[in-house]
Structure 1
Amino acid sequence: MIRFPSPRSRRLTILSLATAGLLLASTIAAPPGSAGVATAPSGTVETADTIPGVDEIRSSPNLKQVANLPKVAPLDATNSDLAFQSRYAFAGNYNGFVVYDISTPTAPTVVSRVLCPGSQNDISVHGDLLFLSTDSPRSDDSCASTGVPSTETRWEGIKIFDISDKANPRYIKSVQTACGSHTHTLVPGKDRRTVYVYVSSYGPSDTYVGCPRPHDSISIIKVPVTSPTDAAVVAVPNLFPDGGFEGVPGQKSATSGCHDITVYPSKNLAAGACMGDGILMDISNREAPRVINRVRDTVNFAFWHSATFNNAGTKVVFTDELGGGGAATCNETVGPNRGADAVYDIVGRGDNRTMVFRSYFKIPRPNADTENCVAHNGSLVPVFGRDIMVQAWYQGGISVWDFTDSANPREIAYWERGPLNAERLTGGGTWSAYWYNGYIYSNDMVKGLDVLKLTDWRTWTANLVRYRELNVQTQPSYLGG
């Protein structure tokens, strides 16, 4: 979400059947019992002709809600991102975070709630450590801090918690970063004794204390895993020596930092969504990422928000958060190519790799003008032999789409609620929708945690994969690299 004045370590295990799954990768057949799954012949799903009523739920036959856990005070502010570890889900909220037990996905329970205000509270986990992003000026770095004007900024950055006891997380360390931390990305060190945190932030101004112009960089925090209280900023690389895209006032954002970065550690790759630019980076040296290719879309993209690689690392999907998540952009007026995803093929090798545009994807259902709807956070579904992604669209709901053919992406499943208000635009909807160990988890900004089950012949092999830890912006490889 765009900030207005007042979007991860990998560990996985694969079931023994995964070896057999590799042999199926190029010739996947539907498992027994899949013949009854209803999908259109073209591979797309049937779309309802009318917009659902307030809070009315609609979906394709192959995607069903199995649980909802509403948010409660004091964590009743806006819900944000999700992270996963073993049988737990960790959900960010502008007032702190919630730890859920999801060992029974159809009946999740709350393990603990931690009150610690500081938007957005973007969240990730690594072993016994949990990281939170603070991107609003605070009176200090404590969980009892209060908001202050940007002209009086005293603290913004990363908070670190010890979560060895999930029922009683302990705040142990803070690290201040330039312009705060809108989002962050965990990057495992190659020695396993270190984890790095790539901090993305933006929005500098001449009057913003701690965030002056220009701001063309990210902050890199080095965290010794066994002594996390020694965490500190070790580098502030300038990713845009030329200043980046200059923007178009009122239409397209200028580059002044990055909104979000997704890393693919096993391939030493990262993709940065940086407001006005999309970048591909080599992260072989974790403390010195290098930009090897940069793309712009001056026709349709307004705000480069986030990125997702396919499993092979040969494609990247960028999202455009047109309107900052607060506008109704899933309608005929805006059209199919704005506020959408863009699929790029990655061609070439080494430093000669380039990103080549192939197509746009946007949900095919029109939303009401009372619904904020735009491309937002999603994750790759770990399917053998296909490129399939689940994605949040705020009040546009949740979409599952196939981009195996880069030039012709197709939706294969969807689930959505009707608007929160029939008379006026009222912000809400799903912030993040991620696949984790057989289910889709959604952190709805207003309605709380939703759990959904996808039953589709094209995705059944994803059930062979079991993650032990998942931070979506630290992309795992489920086929070993």
Structure 2
Amino acid sequence: MKHLAPRGRMLKRLAAISSVALVLSLLTAPGSSAAKAPADPGTIPGVDEIVSSPNLKQVAHLDKSGVLPGTNTDWAFQGRYAYGGNYDGFYVYDVKNPKAPTVAAQVLCPGSQNDISITGNLLFLGTDSQRTNDTCDNVASTTAAPGDRWEGIKIFDISDPLTPKYLKSVKTDCGSHTQTLVPGKRGDKNVYLYVSSYNLAGSDQPNCALPHDKISIVKVPLRNPTAAAVVATPVVFPDGGFPGAPQKTATTGCHDITVYAEKDLAAGACMGDGVLFDIRDRTAPKVLTTVRDEVNFAFWHSATFNNNGTKVVFTDELGGGGAATCNEAIGPNRGADAIYDIVSKRGVKKLEFRSYYKIPRYNADTEVCVAHNGSLIPVPGRDIMVQAWYLGGISVWDFTDSRRPKEIAFWERGPLSTTQLTGGGSWSAYWYNGFIYSNDITKGVDVLELKDVRTAIAKFFRADTFNAQTQDNFLRW
């Protein structure tokens, strides 16, 4: 990350602003005249109707267009560009002016998920569906078109963001549902990708034999990225992990991993288990502890550290991203986020459950709603994040008090249909350099601006590269 102002001067300025923000936050606490409570949980907006709290507003929107009509997925950011994943490839957006973003380029490269990470001049694209070959000119591998049954990681050169160039593929077992960029240790001229994938079929599949209780680690030499290769496949669950239960998914791999490289920690959301790793040895992560929630969690989906690295927020993808789970029948604890404190007991790190958080509004029974991808908002001394909830919209919430999380802002569109269950909404909502960017599954891109004294200081933090699952200390940006 680059410092965009002299560090000492910036920190003094931030400290002054933080003091003012703290005082003003007391004035805007719930119950004061300057704050408004969330919408009545029983009030559901009309089809495509946009509703929000007064402090979170849409400032721009771009429809999907061109050669990428597929499902929009995850984000990565660098400089003036936002890279948006799509099942048909990826978009490059120019966000120099966040209130007037434009499509700068489109790369047609079909494959499920197409999860994105970026470092320097390299972009990594994760594919989690069997394809007829490892190029961008491919189709789904079927009995009629078996091809090479390729899935895994593609590497692109984005020296010129307007003309990304495909460099290299790396095949991985079970493909790459998600992939997390892990910086090398000091003096290491490589980066690493922790590739998460899994098998829900319950039987051996081409490229994905059971048991699949591991992750794949790809080593990428920065000076010679075409030499990238799988260098380790550590078994995370030698005992097989959570065996499964009614409406609770068995563990056959990990769904997503978030790393906090500075602290040599990683948090894994691994289907039926939550995991805390020691990653001091980048190619041999060590499981420190695992946790389960056999009462309320159905599918451990993703993880976010707080900035101090003392907490982890895990999300539950109840219904697999295909069900209405934000209604009165499901309730506040199922399909929620779970907040865990990282505590040390006799020198051993453990995860201790503190509370659940779920959006405090009901969705229609026709709306697919699920706890999905989000990121921290850089507010020193506070733990605040923005998070996507599919058709549940976007929620900004504070978990500084691990036992009493609370929402401070929200934005959402109404249902896409009032007669049938329909998927859509925000897949990923991340804070980047003063604005929130949402990749809407069906609609395109939304840019939101948060105006709240409790988060005003965040506008002063600037990153030159941002991968949500590669966390670092925002005080060092």
Indicate yes or no: 2:39 matched with 1:47: yes
- In the TM superposition, structure 1's runs of 4+ consecutive aligned residues that sit over 2 Å from their partners are 11-18, 21-25, 27-46, 149-153, 204-207
- 8 Å CA contact 1:256–1:275 kept in 2: the answer is yes
Residue 56 of structure 1 is matched in structure 2 by: 49
- 8 Å CA contact 2:14–2:460 kept in 1: the answer is no
Structure 1 portions without partners, runs of 5+: 1-10
Supply the distance in 2 between the matched residues of 1:458 and 1:467 (Cα, whole angstroms).
Answer: 20
- 8 Å CA contact 2:259–2:471 kept in 1: the answer is yes
Deviations 1:304-326 (A, max 9, x none): 00000000000000000000111
Residue 108 of structure 1 is matched in structure 2 by: 101
Structure 2 portions without partners, runs of 5+: none
**Alignment counterpart, residue 162 of structure 2, candidates 152, 164, 167:** 167
Residue 61 of structure 2 is matched in structure 1 by: 68
Supply the distance in 1 between the matched residues of 2:12 and 2:295 (Cα, whole angstroms).
Answer: 45
Cα distance, 1:124–1:268 mapped onto 2, change above 3 Å: same
Deviation of 1:38 (Å):
9.3
Supply the distance in 2 between the matched residues of 1:299 and 1:21 (Cα, whole angstroms).
Answer: 46
Alignment of 1:80-479 (within 5 A): 80-149=73-142, 152=146, 154-190=149-185, 191-203=187-199, 205-249=202-246, 251-348=247-344, 352-479=348-475
Segment drifting more, 30-39 vs 396-405: 30-39
Deviations 1:386-436 (A, max 9, x none): 000100000000000000000000000000000111211111000000000
Deviation of 1:45 (Å):
3.2
Deviation of 1:23 (Å):
4.1
Q: Which has the higher contact order (CA 8 A, sep 6+)?
A: 1
- Give 3-state SS (helix, strand or coil) of 2:459's partner: helix
Cα distance, 1:128–1:332 mapped onto 2, change above 3 Å: same
- The residue type equivalent to 2:11 in the other structure is T
Q: TM-score, normalised by structure 2?
A: 0.94
- 8 Å CA contact 1:21–1:384 kept in 2: the answer is no
Cα distance, 1:356–1:207 mapped onto 2, change above 3 Å: closer
Segment drifting more, 253-262 vs 71-80: 71-80
Supply the distance in 1 between the matched residues of 2:26 and 2:402 (Cα, whole angstroms).
Answer: 26
Supply the distance in 2 between the matched residues of 1:206 and 1:437 (Cα, whole angstroms).
Answer: 45
- The residue type equivalent to 1:471 in the other structure is N
- Give 3-state SS (helix, strand or coil) of 2:151's partner: strand
Cα distance, 1:277–1:38 mapped onto 2, change above 3 Å: closer
Supply the distance in 1 between the matched residues of 2:346 and 2:126 (Cα, whole angstroms).
Answer: 32
- 8 Å CA contact 1:224–1:231 kept in 2: the answer is yes
Deviation of 1:150 (Å):
8.5
Deviation of 1:330 (Å):
0.2
**Alignment counterpart, residue 30 of structure 1, candidates 21, 43, 58:** 21
The number of residues matched between the two structures is 469
Q: TM-score, normalised by structure 1?
A: 0.93
Supply the distance in 2 between the matched residues of 1:32 and 1:110 (Cα, whole angstroms).
Answer: 41
- 8 Å CA contact 1:21–1:461 kept in 2: the answer is no
Cα distance, 1:335–1:157 mapped onto 2, change above 3 Å: same
Supply the distance in 2 between the matched residues of 1:35 and 1:405 (Cα, whole angstroms).
Answer: 15
- 8 Å CA contact 1:60–1:415 kept in 2: the answer is yes
Residue 7 of structure 1 is matched in structure 2 by: none
Deviation of 1:480 (Å):
3.7
Segment drifting more, 203-212 vs 158-167: 203-212
Indicate yes or no: 2:72 matched with 1:79: yes
- 8 Å CA contact 1:15–1:465 kept in 2: the answer is no
- 8 Å CA contact 1:52–1:58 kept in 2: the answer is yes
Supply the distance in 1 between the matched residues of 2:436 and 2:143 (Cα, whole angstroms).
Answer: 37
Cα distance, 1:252–1:346 mapped onto 2, change above 3 Å: same
Residue 5 of structure 1 is matched in structure 2 by: none
- The residue type equivalent to 2:165 in the other structure is R
- 8 Å CA contact 1:37–1:61 kept in 2: the answer is no
Supply the distance in 2 between the matched residues of 1:194 and 1:79 (Cα, whole angstroms).
Answer: 29
Deviations 1:2-33 (A, max 9, x none): xxxxxxxxx343544541256469x7323999
Supply the distance in 1 between the matched residues of 2:403 and 2:273 (Cα, whole angstroms).
Answer: 21
Residue 20 of structure 1 is matched in structure 2 by: 12
Supply the distance in 1 between the matched residues of 2:196 and 2:2 (Cα, whole angstroms).
Answer: 26
Cα distance, 1:259–1:21 mapped onto 2, change above 3 Å: farther
- The residue type equivalent to 1:399 in the other structure is S
- 8 Å CA contact 2:278–2:288 kept in 1: the answer is yes
- Give 3-state SS (helix, strand or coil) of 1:83's partner: strand
